[in-house]
Each structure stands twice: as C-alpha cells, then as structure tokens.
A and B are shown apart, each in its own frame.
Chain A
Amino acid sequence: MATEVLDAAAAAHEAGHTAETSSGMPQLDITTWDNQIFWLLVSLVAIYLIVTRVAVPRIGAVLAERRGTITNDLAAAEELKLQASEAETAYNKALAAARAEASKIIAAARADIEADLAKATAKADAEIEAKTAVSEKRIAEIREGALESVTEVAKDTAKELVSVLGGKADARSINAAVAARLKG
C-alpha cells in the first residue's frame, strides 16, 4: 500500500520531470526563439507587402470612388430638387398670371355688361320719357278739346234755351254769360 503510493508519487514526479524537460513552459525555450522570430518576420513582411501593394490602394480607391459616387449622386439629387422647386415656382407664377388674367376678363365682362345695361336703361328711360311726353300732350289736348266742347255745348244749349223761351239773344251776350258761368 505504502509502496504503491510512493511508486505513484515517484511516477508522477517522473512524469512531471519528463514534461518539464520536454515542454515545461515552451514559451521560455530559448532555442526555438530564433526560428519563431525568423518566420514571424517573414510573415509580417508578406502581410505588409499584401497590405501596401494590393489592399490599401484597392480598398482606398474603392472607398474614394464610392465617396465620389455618393457625392455626385447627392449633387445630382440636389440639382433635381432645385429644378423641381424652380418648376414649382414657375407653375405657381403661371397659375397666378392665369388667375389675374381670368379676373381681368371677368372685370372687363362685368364692365361691358354694366355699360350695356346702363345704355339700355338710359334708352328705355328716354323712350319712356318720350312716350310720357306724348301721352301728356295727348291728354292735354283731349282735356282742352273736352273743355272747348263743353263751352260749345253750353253756348248751343244756352242759345237754344233762350230761343225756346222766346227771347232773342245775341251771340255775344250768350258767350259772355256762358264764359262767366264756366268760370264761376
């Protein structure tokens, strides 16, 4: 039992020793350093050449080109936007002009109509005036005629009455009497 444990310990110790001699801490094995450093430098030079000869120019060019494309596209978009806004202002201007034109036309038409209307009204007024004047004249004539007739009738009647009553009347006195009566 005891020897077994001792043997195990010895074996473990032995194993530790062999591990130490074969590996230990491989990083500290100076004999491999020159090899590692040599291959490291080779690799670094290779990567550096790849980076400077191929990658940086290529990717740099692509990125610059992309930046240029994006800038150009943005500029084009900006220009289009400007054009659009220009078109919009032009449209607005045209719209305003059309509107002004329309209102002018409307005003002109209204003025025309009003003028026509005024003319027609004036004409109608004048006609009415003329007709009224004619009618008034006629009425005056008729009235005058009527008055004359009344005087005539009254004279005739009075002559007749005088003659019927046996009197002899001269025209002059009858006229005077009728005129006085009519006035009265």
Chain B
Amino acid sequence: MAEEGASGFQIHPMDQFIVKPLFGGDHIAWYTVTNVTLWMAIAVVAIAAMLMLGTRRRAIVPSRSQSVAELIYGFVYNMVEEVTGREGVKYFPYVLTLFLFILFSNLLGLLPAAFTTTSHIAVTIVLAMLVFLGVTILGFVKHGIGFLGMFWVSSAPLVIRPILAVIEVISYFVRPVSHSIRLAGNLMAGHAVIKVIAGFATLVVASPVVIGAVTALYGLELLVACVQAYVFTILTCVYLRDAVGDVHH
C-alpha cells in the first residue's frame, strides 16, 4: 500500500527537459541529432513557412497568412524604432531573428509532448551572450573608449559617482545573466508546474480539479510564452539603445 502510494506520486517534472539522441545511442556529441535538433528544426521550418509562404504573392491587399507575417514584422520594427531610435533600425533583422526564434520555440514547446528548447539555460545564455557581446562590441566601435562614460553618472554628485560606477558596472555584467535566466526560468517553471499539477491526476478524486487547473495554467503559459519573447526582445532593444544612442543618459 505504502509502496503503491510512493510510486503513484513519483512526479518527475524535470524529465521533459532531458536531451535525448533521436536515433538511439547514449553519447551526446556536439553534432548528435537530438530532440533539441528536432524542435529547433521545427521552429525554423515554421518560421520559414510563415515568412515565405504567406508573403509569396506579395499582395498589396494581404491575405490572412500574409498579414500575420506583416503584423510580426511591423510589431518588431516599431519596437526597435521606438526604443532604440532611428539609429537602431539597422539592427532590426538581428532583433527579428531573436524574436521569431524565441516566440516560436516558446509556442511550439507548449504542444503536448514537445521539447521546449528555450527552457534550457544553455540556449538562453547563448542568446543573451550574443546580445551582450554584440552590444558591448558595438558600443566600443561606435563610441570608442567613451562608451565607458555610460558607467560614470555625470548627473550625480562627485562623491557618490565612484560608488555608482561600481554599481553600474556590476548591473551591466548581470544583464546577460538575468536576461537568459528570466527566459529559461519562466518557461521551465511554467512547464514544471503544469507537469506537477498533471501528476496529481493519478489521484482519481483530484483529477477534475487537475484538468481545470492544467487548462488554466496552459492559458497562462500561452501568455507567458508571448510576453517572454516580447520582454527578451524589448530588453535587447533597450541594451542596444545604450550602444547606438547617446551614452550619457
């Protein structure tokens, strides 16, 4: 009895994040085709389908699929233009790439039995480091050594400026950490919570409640998937503004 109860509640919320080779074998080398590969490929194919099939006819009056592509294009374009200014529009394709990848990975991860690539810190840290390194290099290329002026808050009293500079430097280097962990953590938490709640469905009495709760959480996760893609992108724009805009803010 006790054994049954113990095994009945063996919920493994983290099992869904295991990286597995698709075609057998245990060893995962850097080139092994895994479920990560599969779901990233699906994301790429979905993005390609949305961007290429919908806009195939190049209609002045857009079809439904074309207006979806145009909507996302316009959404990201306006975001880049609004947050970074006219200077930042040059980097719009990079931002759009990040946004599309994150949005599609998040949404595809919500399919049952799917693998959520963006819930892995390895993935998000690369995305965040791309932004961080790109922005830092761009800042030094654009402003030279003057880019360091960003850490020297000239509007503050002289006495506390060094302290502020230390804080600014620390917060600058925490950026990629929070940028990546926010995305991975949100998705991991959401999927793990759904899994934990769904695990209680083995208890017959609780199962109706579980169905309702999982449905509600699923709706919430749908929102989180979109909002996190939006947040990642807009933070990218905010960081980009530091590099391309006026450094003394």
Is B197 close to A, CB under 8 A?
no
**Which partner residue on chain A sits nearest B34 by CB separation?**
A35
Is B236 close to A, CB under 8 A?
no
Asked whether, in the complex, the Cβ of A36 is within 8 Å of the Cβ of B32, the reply is no
Interface size for chain A: under 10, 10 to 19, 20 to 34, or 35 or more residues? 35 or more
**Which partner residue on chain B sits nearest A22 by CB separation?**
B18
Interface size for chain B: under 10, 10 to 19, 20 to 34, or 35 or more residues? 35 or more
Is A164 close to B, CB under 8 A?
no
A62 to B59, CA, bound (A): 7
**Which partner residue on chain A sits nearest B30 by CB separation?**
A34
**Which partner residue on chain A sits nearest B3 by CB separation?**
A8
Nearest CB in chain A: distance from B4 CB, A: 9
Nearest CB in chain A: distance from B66 CB, A: 8
| Residues of chain B with a CB closer than 8 A to A153's CB | none
Asked whether, in the complex, the Cβ of B117 is within 8 Å of the Cβ of A55, the reply is no
Known contacts A27-B17, A59-B73; is-contact A7 B3 (Cβ 8 Å): yes
Q: Is the interface of B mostly helix, strand, loop or mixed?
A: helix
Partner-binding segment picked from A45-53, A80-88, A138-146:
A45-53
A128 to B179, CA, bound (A): 121
A61 to B60, CA, bound (A): 10
A-B contact pairs, 16 of them (CB 8 A): A26-B17, A26-B18, A29-B19, A34-B29, A34-B30, A35-B19, A35-B30, A36-B36, A36-B122, A37-B126, A47-B44, A47-B97, A55-B52, A59-B70, A59-B73, A63-B73
Interface positions of B (Cβ within 8 A of A): 2-3, 6-7, 10, 12, 14-15, 17-19, 28-32, 34, 36-37, 40-41, 43-44, 47-48, 51-52, 55, 58-60, 62, 66, 69-70, 73-74, 92-94, 96-97, 100-101, 117, 119-123, 126-127, 130, 184, 188
Interface positions of A (Cβ within 8 A of B): 4-5, 7-8, 11-12, 15, 19, 22-29, 31-44, 46-48, 50-52, 54-56, 58-63, 65-66, 69
